[in-house]
Amino acid sequence: MMVCPYDEKRLLLILQVDHSRVTGWFAAHWGNDTFARPSPYAAMVLAAQEHDTGWWDWEIKPQVNSEGLPPDYIAASNISAAKFGWTFTATASIGLAEQDPMRATSFPCTPTVY
């Protein structure tokens, strides 16, 4: 999750999975007379759309840091890897081979935690 100050008392929290969806919308509409659209189109749009879906497991039950605030995605990567012992890449790749074999093998999901 992206954690951004909204004002002096509030935070704006943006889920990585929502960011991923927006990225997919941008990719789907990318390209014009000046630069080409993604190629191969379907695989690249899917890659953009799904690149952070592995965060879902953590984001539905986020933890807080020592200050009582939700950690940003970098700190959450370390927390989740230690607690759950899995990689976001493995979680996010489930089912992608059925949608697009190229996407499932060519574009690693981020962030990958080892």
- Report pLDDT digits (tens) over 28-75: 999 999 989 999 999 899 989 988 887 887 788 888 888 888 887 777
- Across residues 13-35, what is the average pLDDT? 92
- Across residues 78-99, what is the average pLDDT? 53
Its pTM stands at 0.65
Nearest CA to 54 out of 101, 99, 16 is that of 16
Let me know: does 2 contact 13? Beta carbons within 8 Å: yes
> Quick one: pLDDT at residue 85?
46
- pLDDT range class, residue 21, cuts 50, 70, 90: very high
- pLDDT range class, residue 93, cuts 50, 70, 90: low
